[in-house]
Amino acid sequence: MQLFNRYVSPRGLTVFGCEIMLIFGSVAVAARAHGVAAELPAEVWKIALVTGLCQVCFYYNDLYDLTVVHSSRELLIRLLQAAGAASIIIALLYLAMPSLAIGKGIFVSSLVIFLLAIITWRLIFNRFAYTRQLEERVLIVGTGPTARMVAREIQTQHDFGYRVIGFVSDGGVQNGHSHPPTVGTPADIPSLVREHEVSRIVVGLSDRRGRLLVTELLQAKLSGTRVEDATTTYERLTGKILIDDLKPSWLIFSDGFIVSRWTRFKKRAFDLVLSSIGFVLAAPFTLLTALAVYLDSDGPILYCQERVGEHGNVFTVYKFRSMQVDAEKEGTPLWARSGDERVTRVGRIIRTTRLDELPQLWNVLRGDMSFVGPRPERPFFVEQLAQEIPFYQQRHSIKPGITGWAQVKYQYGSSIEDAMEKLRYDLYYVKHLSLALDLSIVFDTVKVIMFGKGAK
């Protein structure tokens, strides 16, 4: 299912929902144990506040990414880190606003209760959720790169309860020792579905002309088995679009990729409100950053550079200078790279914390950029990447952003391969563009800044 235009697994949603109730219930039990039962109905909103803050800390520590947290050791470490962060935040909140406190000692007691409850719940969940009976058995049609890429994604993630039975060869039976194995030919699909109780067939044929198994797939679908394209499965698993074998017809006929005037109006209003608030709140950081850049190295404080925006229009982007003045003294544009020696001392800090991008709020107010969108690239690189990567120009159908889906989901990159990977995320964003998705990306951007992840 989708939440905020992001795919959410039933497992992840189950864990999240149950832990809301566990935390809320733990605080309520602790409050009752401390003798405030009579006041409990009036304190519900305070309990809800504590629950919300704990959930945010859990989310920021990746406790709801079941691929990251799939071992008991990892769970315990991240749970203690999240609980510690929540304790500090709530203590500071109570110190600043004593009226928000539920009662003396209640949070400490509830902390012990919900830690024990969540550890017990997760162990029980892991014991039963990953049993073969609750797994969704998947049969992949095809043995080419696309089919195998989808199989790898299924095997490396723990959020969706998929298990690959094997591949259906698009030629003769292959007796290699691959894992998952090739289990049959197209004629075997009906028997494979019955034998292995297959609930989902993923079609990963690179070339379907004259090879699409209409009769077998239709028979499987009518018998209750879900049949879907590999691109759709890959999108659900990863939050990005598989562009390697992507056909233009998929872009045309798939749901999404529709940005209505009303959506653009809401997005522009969101940009104006958020950038205006950002200007006010970031004013102290802007002044301190400008002073640090000025004192650190010779050269201008602001760095102006041409970037490609919506519909391929070129505009000037503004950033705090994070590199030496002669960073491109040979005249040829160069990709910034991890550990780039051209970056100044202050530059490394402001790039990691994204303080260098604060002047881009002016670009947002002017309408050159959006707060959320694909990362704007330089014309030199756009021309190069458009020749190397299919569908690259489609990312320019909307305004670029200060932050974006690719920026919060993928690390810093400085190669064509990295640009292709980021394009997969950008196309997902273009397809699912909405105000709800923008809000969730802004929420994730805070996490990226706090932990120094994502694009810099």
What's the pLDDT tens digit per position in 409-424? 987 767 888 899 999 9
The better pLDDT of the pair 393, 339 is held by 393
Return the pLDDT at 105. 81
Sequence-distant (≥ 6) Cβ neighbours of residue 329 within 8 angstroms: none
pTM for the whole structure: 0.90
| Average pLDDT of the segment spanning 426-444 | 95
Residues in the chain: 456
**Among all chains, which residue has been given the structure tokens 């494979």?**
192
pLDDT value at 455 more than 60: no
Asked whether 401 and 433 are in contact (CB, 8 A), the reply is no
Q: Nearest 5 degrees, angle CA 346-CA 352-CA 358? A: 80
- The predicted pLDDT at position 176 comes to 53
Q: How far is CA 172 from CA 11, 144, 184, 186, 220, in A?
A: 37, 13, 8, 9, 21
Predicted confidence at residue 207, as pLDDT, reads 65
Residues forming beta bridges with residue 201, ordered by sequence position: 139, 227
Residue 282: pLDDT band by 50, 70, 90 thresholds? very high
The reported pLDDT for the residue numbered 247 is 82
Q: Give me the DSSP letters along 41-95.
A: GGGHHHHHHHHHHHHHHHHHTTTT-TTTS-SHHHHHHHHHHHHHHHHHHHHHHHH
Taking the C-alpha atoms of residue 297 and residue 453, their distance in angstroms, rounded to an integer, is 26
Q: In which band, very low, low, confident or very high, does the pLDDT at 92 lie, cut at 50, 70 and 90? A: very high
Write out the CATH class of domain 132-238: alpha beta
Pairing of strands 2-3, 6-7: antiparallel
Per-residue pLDDT tens for 211-234?
567 888 999 999 999 999 999 999
Beta strand pairing call for 200-203 and 136-141 = parallel
Residue 37 CA to residue 47 CA, distance in Å, equals 13
> Which residues have CB under 8 Å from 322's CB, separation 6+?
293, 303, 343, 344, 346, 347, 348, 350, 351, 356
Q: Which of 3-7, 49-53, 84-88 has the lowest mean pLDDT?
A: 3-7
Backbone angles phi, psi at 18, to 5 degrees: -65, -35
Say whether pLDDT at 450 is over 90: no
d(CA 67, CA 158): 5
Using only the alpha carbons of the chain, give its radius of gyration. 25
Largest CA distance in the chain: 75
To which H or E segment does residue 340 belong? none
* C-beta of residue 234 within 8 angstroms of C-beta of residue 177: no
Query: What phi and psi, each to the nearest 5 degrees, are found at residue 49?
Result: -65, -45
Question: Residue 93's pLDDT band (boundaries 50, 70, 90)?
Answer: very high
C-alpha closest to that of 399 among 434, 366, 373: 373
Question: Is 97 exposed, middle or buried, given 0-12, 13-18 or 19+ CB atoms closer than 10 A?
Answer: exposed
**What number is the average pLDDT over the span 346-356?**
89
Identify each DSSP E strand in 169-292 by its residue range: 182-184, 200-203, 226-229
Distance between the two ends of the chain, CA-based, in angstroms? 31
139, two tokens: 């049969």
Structure tokens at 431: 């397809």
Q: Structural domain boundaries of the chain?
A: 2-129, 132-238, 261-451
Provide the 10 A C-beta neighbour count for residue 59. Answer: 16
Sign, CA torsion 322/324/325/329: negative
Mean pLDDT of the chain: 88
CA pair distance 76, 310, nearest whole angstrom: 46
Contact at 8 Å (CB) between 322 and 347? yes
Per-residue confidence (pLDDT) for residue 173, from 0 to 100 = 47
Please indicate whether residue 268 or residue 2 has the higher confidence score (pLDDT): 268
Which residue, 43, 40, 138, 49, is CA-closest to 90?
49
Give the model confidence (pLDDT) of 3-15 as tens digits: 888 998 889 999 9
